[in-house]
Amino acid sequence: MRQKSKKQSREPETKDAFKGMKFNQWAAEHLPQWIKEAEAAIDNNQIDKAGSILEEKFVNDYLRQTSGTNKIFSMYHIAGLLKNTNQIFRAEQMYEDLLKMNNHSAVFNELADIFRKTGRIGKAVIYLKRAMDLNPNQPLLSGNLSSNLINLGQVETAIKIERELVKKRPDDNFVFSNLLLHMHYLPQIDRSAFFDESTKWAKRNVPLSMAKTNHRNNPDPNRKLKIGYISPDFRNHSVTYFFEPLLDAHNRDSVEVYGYGNVSLYDDTTERLKSKFDQYRNVRPLDDKQTAELIENDQIDILVDLAGHSADSKIYAMAYKPAPIQATWCGYPDTTGMSQIDYRITDAIADPPGSEKYYSEKLMYLPDIFLCYGPGGIQPAIAPSPVVTNKHITFGCFNNSCKINPFIIGLWAKILHQVPNSNLLLKFKSGQDDEIRQIFLKKFEDEGITKDRIAICGWLQSPADLELYNRVDIALDTFPYNGTTTTCQALLMGVPVISIVGEHHMSRVGLSILTNLGFEFFAAPTPEQYIARAVALASKPDSLAKIRNTMRDRMRASSLCNKAVFAKRMEDAYRQMWHIWCQKHNNVLFKTSAQQL
């Protein structure tokens, strides 16, 4: 299943897992009112209210007064509510206590999800395998196992599991989306084959016949437009760095902005973003058809997807085509495969002319760059180049572990071999897990790089995540899946990024970003040049110091960080899409009227 599964997609699987325990029958007959109230508060995103209902002493007193099946089912239900109110470690303890009473696959699965979210991937895999021993025919468990294996770098194994799941569950969109997303982490991807796989899925599972064709939107080409953005990531997520600047800079005289959030856990960022929309709709409780009906009733003119086939996407609602124009942007590096989505917003560097054949959508090119980066209010001071103090170069890569494959490790090892005494600092979510750390250290040892030259740490909260770049002289990008947020963050902290360029969009984002800062030389066209340019820059401490001292100002002056210019370009693109639709719509009306005459 999805790395961050939907509530509505997870519930049927949970019912299957508890089938023998008759969980749902118990819930219908015995669920206490206070638990129902906590559940309702969560559904309405009243997390603080739910948290107060689930006060620890009150819950413990209740559980002490229950026994048998009532206690088992109550603990399972309460633990789930605790998890959904971000009380992760209380939930973990309750699930662990429950295992002592009832060794059930669903409990192992919930604990595995907690371990994944807290960076303990190795333990998550162990618990999922225990769950599968107890319930070998449960597809949910296989899907969750594959998502965790991705983060261990075992991409081929994960893809094999997901292909088997697709065969068993061809109608399951979530399973297929996971496969499409995870295929991008393979060291090589055949773009033609990927396009065929994406479009075949769409024709089978979300055919064009589902789409509405007679939209009631007023076809006035110059009126104020209603723009809708649909995403699961209106929260503390990398997409926010690029979406919020656009949301801030939209001209509200030209556009009215709606947000459709499928957010699993609200946070402070969610609340901040909600206040910036003209209208915000929580679509988490709705199924795809209900979501589409809501969007249609709002009479959205242009609906923009921000997730593609990423986790918790609501892209399937777009199959009904609730808006006359639909586009995808920012959150997914490839075609959706869906004919109902008219445009993909990009730039001519990330998707050069000739790329059209790999997309079911029409490419809508923005000038310069398809992104605008907003670093937010927290921008730590930039320290001097660490080479000055350390007397050796420190390379760094803070991309997700799923982007770190044997090919890129081989290139990094060659760089380290050619730069005497240099070190490499890695940061990713499970980096604090000693078992995971040993797996990656072994991969470097196989390339002749000793453990003492590699440092690995886990995810950090802001601003510590940015401050960590003060320990890095040169950032090394991943391939074939380049970094985006991490590239921008490194540059914000004055750290130059050496990227490697391929043919796919995901392998050209580094080039797009660096070109807009005047550093296209740091985007290497071949693996050999990637190594050579990293090694050459490492020998120039004066250049590193100059870059470090000027990069932030260069970013601020560039189109990469000019939200007003970017918003105007996006609105111009929307207006162009709208004019095309109005012209087609009005031509149809004219022909119909002529035929009636």
Task: Tell me the backbone φ, ψ of residue 459, rounded to 5 degrees.
Answer: -60, 145
Report the distance separating Cα 403 and Cα 422, nearest Å.
22
Task: Quote the tokens at residue 595.
Answer: 């035929």
Report the distance separating Cα 370 and Cα 355, nearest Å.
15
Residue 187 Cα to chain centre, angstroms: 19
pTM: 0.90
Nearest to 280 by CA among 270, 269, 292, 265: 270
What pLDDT is recorded for position 15?
35
Beta-carbon contacts of residue 229 (< 8 Å; ≥ 6 apart): 243, 247, 257, 258, 259, 260, 303, 304, 306
Q: With beta carbons less than 8 A apart as the criterion, state whether 333 and 356 touch.
A: no
CATH 1.25.40.10 residue window(s) in the chain: 7-186+193-205
* Residue 497: strand pairing partners: 475
What pLDDT is recorded for position 127?
96
Task: Tell me the backbone φ, ψ of residue 256, rounded to 5 degrees.
Answer: -110, 130
Nearest to 393 by CA among 477, 475, 483: 475
CATH 3.40.50.11380 residue window(s) in the chain: 225-372+565-597
CATH 3.40.50.2000 residue window(s) in the chain: 386-559
Report the distance separating Cα 248 and Cα 242, nearest Å.
11
Rounded alpha-carbon distances, angstroms, from residue 292 to 36, 289, 300, 404: 28, 5, 10, 37
pLDDT in single tens digits along all 597 residues of the chain:
333 333 333 333 333 334 445 666 777 678 889 999 998 998 887 888 999 999 999 999 999 999 888 899 999 999 999 998 989 999 999 999 999 998 899 999 999 999 998 889 989 999 999 999 999 888 889 999 999 999 888 999 999 999 999 999 999 999 999 999 999 999 889 999 999 999 999 999 999 999 999 999 999 999 999 999 999 999 999 999 999 999 999 999 999 999 999 998 888 999 999 999 999 999 999 999 999 999 999 999 999 999 999 999 999 999 999 999 999 999 999 999 999 999 999 999 999 999 999 999 999 999 999 999 999 888 999 999 999 999 999 999 999 999 999 999 999 999 999 999 999 999 998 898 888 999 999 999 999 999 999 999 998 988 999 999 999 999 999 999 999 999 999 999 999 999 999 999 999 999 999 999 999 999 999 999 999 999 999 999 999 999 999 999 999 999 999 999 999 999 999 999 999 999 998 875 544 444 443
Report the distance separating Cα 489 and Cα 503, nearest Å.
24
Q: With beta carbons less than 8 A apart as the criterion, state whether 125 and 145 touch.
A: yes
Task: Tell me the backbone φ, ψ of residue 474, rounded to 5 degrees.
Answer: -140, 130
Nearest to 325 by CA among 277, 364, 353: 364
Buried b (16+ CB within 10 A) or exposed e, 529-552: bbbbbbbebbeeeeebbebbeebb
What pLDDT is recorded for position 592?
45
Which DSSP symbol is given to 504? S
What pLDDT is recorded for position 22?
65
What pLDDT is recorded for position 29?
76
Three-class SS of residue 545?
helix
Beta-carbon contacts of residue 349 (< 8 Å; ≥ 6 apart): 369, 508, 511, 512, 515
Task: Tell me the backbone φ, ψ of residue 426, rounded to 5 degrees.
Answer: -110, 145
- Please check whether the domain covering 386-559 is classified as CATH 3.30.300.30: no
What pLDDT is recorded for position 30?
80
DSSP 55-101: -HHHHHHHHHT--HHHHHHHHHHHHHHHHHTT-HHHHHHHHHHHHHH
Beta-carbon contacts of residue 175 (< 8 Å; ≥ 6 apart): 1, 139, 143, 162, 165, 166, 169
Q: Edge-to-edge, what's the strand order for the sheet holding 325-328?
A: 279-282, 255-261, 225-231, 302-305, 325-328, 343-346, 362-365
What pLDDT is recorded for position 23?
67
What pLDDT is recorded for position 70?
87
Which amino acid, one-letter code, is at 156? E
Task: Quote the tokens at residue 117.
Answer: 């979210």
Rounded alpha-carbon distances, angstroms, from residue 482 to 119, 347, 384, 486: 22, 16, 26, 9
Q: Which fold does the domain 225-372+565-597 belong to in CATH?
A: Rossmann fold (3.40.50)
Task: Tell me the backbone φ, ψ of residue 54, rounded to 5 degrees.
Answer: -90, 30
CATH number for region 7-186+193-205: 1.25.40.10
Q: With beta carbons less than 8 A apart as the criterion, state whether 278 and 257 touch.
A: yes
What pLDDT is recorded for position 388?
95
Strands 325-328 and 302-305: parallel
